[in-house]
């Protein structure tokens, strides 16, 4: 069975791809930009906000059983566009929330057929219990993603599909910045361990890359 990872062209997604390959897993990795020079995964182009692209990828993967779907693709729109104009909000929710929903919706049949699991890469910044201010669009979209994951966990439990929601840590990537705490490779190792531990007993969990629970 295969692992499908979205937003795998760089950063945490690419590190997750490398780690999954190192663990001997078959990996399908998606990117909306150029394909990285990494051999091993099956690379696919995907814009997660595009329903037609999602359906087309699902059709190309027909018959491939999925053991794990990792919804990693995400953006921090206000870092690229100062202020909080309508486009920042629209882009944030289109990718960080709607993109997650479209990805799950497209690949749910394959997950049902194989009893696979779903991992949503969110952020501790999506915790409503932690509200230090700022980053409004990013925080709100990640809070919505956490809520989406919790509700999916409830609805999919009866079908044997576990859903986990994860904070990868403050990672040294283009999004996290050079002053972040950990390297992407460290986050990926921790996250892959959490994905392996995910079960119906822990479905709906919101935790960090080390397995520490986060407040909702």
∠ at Cα 45 (124, 178), nearest 5°? 40
What mean pLDDT is predicted for residues 90-116?
A: 97
In this predicted structure, what is the pLDDT of residue 83? 87
The pLDDT mean for the chain works out to: 95
DSSP result, 49-91: T-HHHHHHHHHHTTT--EEEEEE-----HHHHS-S--HHHHHH
In terms of residue numbers, what domain contains 63? 2-208
23 domain-assigned: yes
167 within 8 A of 161, measured Cβ to Cβ: no
Q: What share of the chain is helix, strand, coil (3-state, %, to 5)?
A: 45, 15, 40
Q: Is residue 215, in this structure, part of any structural domain at all?
A: no
For residue 178, give every residue at least 6 positions away whose Cβ sits within 8 Å of its Cβ, in sequence order, or none. Answer: 172
CATH of the domain at 83: 3.40.50.720
Residue 13 maps to a domain: yes
pLDDT of residue 176: 61
Q: Number of folded domains in the chain?
A: 1
**Whether the Cβ atoms of residue 16 and residue 185 lie closer than 8 Å to each other:** no
Catalytic residue among 76, 84, 136, 138: 138
Query: What does the pLDDT read at residue 80?
Result: 82
Query: Is 213 a domain residue?
Result: no
Per-residue buried b or exposed e for 168-191, using 16+ beta carbons within 10 Å of the residue's own CB? bbbbbbebbeeeeebebbbbbbbb
pLDDT of amino acid 182: 80
SS3 readout for 115-131? CCEEEEECCHHHCCCCC
| Cα distance between residue 138 and residue 128, in whole Å | 12
Question: From its phi and psi, is residue 204 left (phi > 0), alpha (psi between -120 and 50) or beta?
Answer: left
Q: Which of 154, 171, 159, 148 is nearest to 110 (CA)?
A: 159
**Does residue 22 form part of some domain?**
yes
Query: The whole model's pTM is what?
Result: 0.95
Lowest mean pLDDT among 24-38, 39-53, 161-175: 161-175
What is the model's pLDDT at position 175? 66
pLDDT value of position 81: 85
Is 138 labeled as catalytic in the residue annotation? yes
Q: Is residue 181 part of a domain?
A: yes
Q: What is the pLDDT of residues 134-189, one digit of tens each?
A: 999 999 999 999 999 999 999 999 999 999 999 998 787 666 666 767 898 999 99
Percent of all residues in the chain with a pLDDT value above 70, rounded to a whole number: 96
pLDDT score of 87 more than 80: yes
Any domain includes 115: yes
């Amino acid at each position: 069975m295969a692992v499908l990872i979205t937003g795998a062209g760089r950063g945490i997604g690419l590190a997750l791809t490398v780690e999954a390959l190192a663990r001997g897993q078959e990996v399908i990795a998606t990117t909306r930009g150029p394909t990285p020079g990494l051999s091993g995964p099956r690379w696919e182009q995907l814009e997660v906000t595009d329903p037609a692209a999602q359906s087309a990828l699902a059709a190309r993967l027909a018959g491939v059983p999925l053991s794990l779907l990792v919804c990693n693709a995400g953006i921090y729109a206000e870092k690229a566009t100062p202020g909080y104009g309508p486009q920042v909000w629209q882009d944030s929710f289109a990718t960080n929330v709607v993109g997650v929903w479209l990805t799950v919706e497209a690949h749910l049949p394959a997950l049902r057929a194989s009893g696979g699991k779903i991992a949503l890469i969110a952020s501790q910044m999506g915790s409503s219990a932690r509200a230090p201010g700022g980053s409004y669009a990013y925080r709100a979209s990640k809070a919505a993603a956490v809520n989406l994951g919790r509700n999916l966990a409830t609805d999919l439990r009866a079908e044997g599909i576990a859903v986990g929601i994860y904070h990868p840590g403050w990672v040294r990537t283009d999004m996290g910045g050079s002053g972040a705490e950990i390297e992407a490779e460290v986050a990926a190792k921790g996250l892959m361990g959490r994905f392996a531990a995910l079960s119906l007993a822990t479905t709906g969990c919101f935790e960090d890359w080390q397995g520490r629970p986060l407040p909702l």
